[in-house]
Amino acid sequence: MTALTLEDTQDDDYIAEQPANRPQVPICATVPAGVVGDRLDAVLARVWPQYSRSRLQGWLREGRVRVDGKACDDARRRTFTGERLELDPGSLPADTVHAPQNIPLDVVFEDDTLLVINKPAGMVVHPGNGVPDGTLLNALLHRVPGLAQVPRAGIVHRLDRDTTGLLVVARTLEAQTDLVRQLQARTVSRRYFAVVAGDLRADGTVDAAIGRHPVQRTRMAVVQAGGKPARTHYFVRERLQGATLVECRLETGRTHQIRVHMAHIGHSLLGDEVYAPRNVAERFSRQALHAWRLGLIHPKSGAEVEWEVPLPADMEGLIAGLRIAT
């Protein structure tokens, strides 16, 4: 069985933070007109949108914000037009330095703000325990050297090692922060095709919290207490021999969400060595899961954009074989 990597065991979508390895100096701004009486943390997020609100709140707690020359750590403090704001980000702990590697990438879209990648099976998104290199992050650093100044080389969400399909990468800190906020606001649309075991008779929704498995800590599970809300909508697209092709739409982005939810309702993904019974896991070489459509609001233009990629050849072959057997 394939060992789990950092991307498999890390919780939920990445959170954008300040670039590492870059010493900071205090930056200043003035409370703009029209925000009289607004909370200080909200005003900070407005004047410095390149930083996530959680990061700004952390700096507030650490005493790195001054208002009219006086230190202030009260996020709820009300502001007044013309007040002078000073932020001292300091120096954050440096991330591990990762080497750029000339690894081919299937780039679906690229501009000065975004990259959209069609990730192949077998590619790990981020280096981790047991996988120090050869990852999407290493490939991104080679293709766009400037991504070394963006946390996690601009990666804002992930796909499991053996899941294929669309993944968006931010080329700037501002774009990364914007995309993380979109993920949190659930305005990013992610649709997947999956081949699941058994005859799934109707469309439905799995609304069940996901957390660490109480015994097997490298796995996720539907849990009654302590889990994070998770919701997956699924739609029957084709009935096959002993299996069903379904389309899944995520409302949340929990680790292994589709795999855990489909197993929870008794329809594990074919090829899933972690969550499927052995007889189901042996029916395909990997979990039969493909992120085929991705939609979001472009961080720079504000336009709604969307991309689609076809099923990879191995899943096409799987489905064709199951059709022949009917």
Residues 151-192: tens digit of each pLDDT: 889 999 999 999 999 999 999 988 998 998 898 888 999 999
Structure confidence by residue, pLDDT tens digits, 253-301: 899 999 999 999 999 999 999 999 999 999 999 999 999 999 999 999 9
DSSP letter string, 203-254: -EEEE--EEE-SS-TTSEEE-SSSPBP-EEEEEEEEEETTEEEEEEEESS--
User: DSSP strand E in the chain: where?
Assistant: 27-30, 65-67, 70-71, 84-87, 107-110, 114-119, 164-170, 189-197, 204-207, 210-212, 220-222, 231-240, 243-250, 289-297, 304-308
Look at residue 8 in the predicted model and tell me its pLDDT. Answer: 35
Query: Which phi and psi (to 5°) does residue 119 adopt?
Result: -75, 135
pLDDT reported for residue 258: 97
DSSP H stretches of helix in 49-135? 53-61
Mean pLDDT, the chain, as a whole number?
87
CA–CA distance, 268 with 196 (Å, rounded to integer): 5
Residue 12, judged by CB atoms within 10 A of its CB (0-12, 13-18, 19+), counts as middle
Residue 38's pLDDT is 87
Q: Are 115 and 140 in contact (CB under 8 A)?
A: yes
Q: Is 160 a catalytic residue?
A: yes
- For position 50, what pLDDT does the model report? 66
DSSP 50: T
Catalytic residue among 8, 41, 160, 162: 160
Confidence of residue 6 (pLDDT cuts 50, 70, 90): very low
Between residues 293 and 70, the one the model is more confident about: 293
pLDDT digits (tens, 9 = 90+) for 108-129: 999 999 999 999 999 999 987 7
pLDDT for the residue 325: 62
User: pLDDT tens digits, residue range 11-64?
Assistant: 455 544 444 444 455 688 888 877 778 889 888 888 877 677 777 888 888 888
